[in-house]
Amino acid sequence: MTEDLKTQLQGIDDQLSKRFIDLDPDGYFIIYIDPEAGLICADHYTNTISDKGLALDPETGEPIPVKGGIKRSPTRTFKGRTAKELGMEITEKTNPCPLSRLDHALYLGREFVRAELALIRGETYIQD
């Protein structure tokens, strides 16, 4: 891939990342890798969505900061050796499925692939 094409594609993704996103009322995931175990992990957290579209802690009713800052316990931790295995664990083996929006599922799939590639390459993974 040429640098020009790479820059162009990154520009498309950067622009799309600036759009408004309707949050999933079924919760959100914090994704990370465990290189020693060879696993992609996804902690699931519940939330409620305010009438302004903000994610709120269901216990306190307070907004959940984007950059962290509050300690919450995940409702569940999902693990897989590949993006596909992890995605199937969440969408096919968990009832009820802890996500309700197709755009959220697509986002998770992209992030799981990025995490898998980081695991394979021995690189650091940072969730987008």
Q: What is the reported pLDDT for 1?
A: 78
| Stated pTM of the model | 0.87
Tens digit of each residue's pLDDT, the chain (128 residues): 798 999 999 999 889 888 888 899 999 999 999 999 999 999 999 999 999 888 998 988 888 887 766 788 999 999 999 999 999 999 999 999 999 999 999 999 999 999 999 999 999 999 98
Give the 3-state secondary structure of the chain: CCHHHHHHHHHHHHHHCCCCCCCCCCCEEEEEEECCCCEEEEEEECCEECCCCCEECCCCCCECCCCCCCCCCCCEEEEECCHHHHHHHHHCCCCCCCCCCHHHHHHHHHHHHHHHHHHHHCCCCCCC
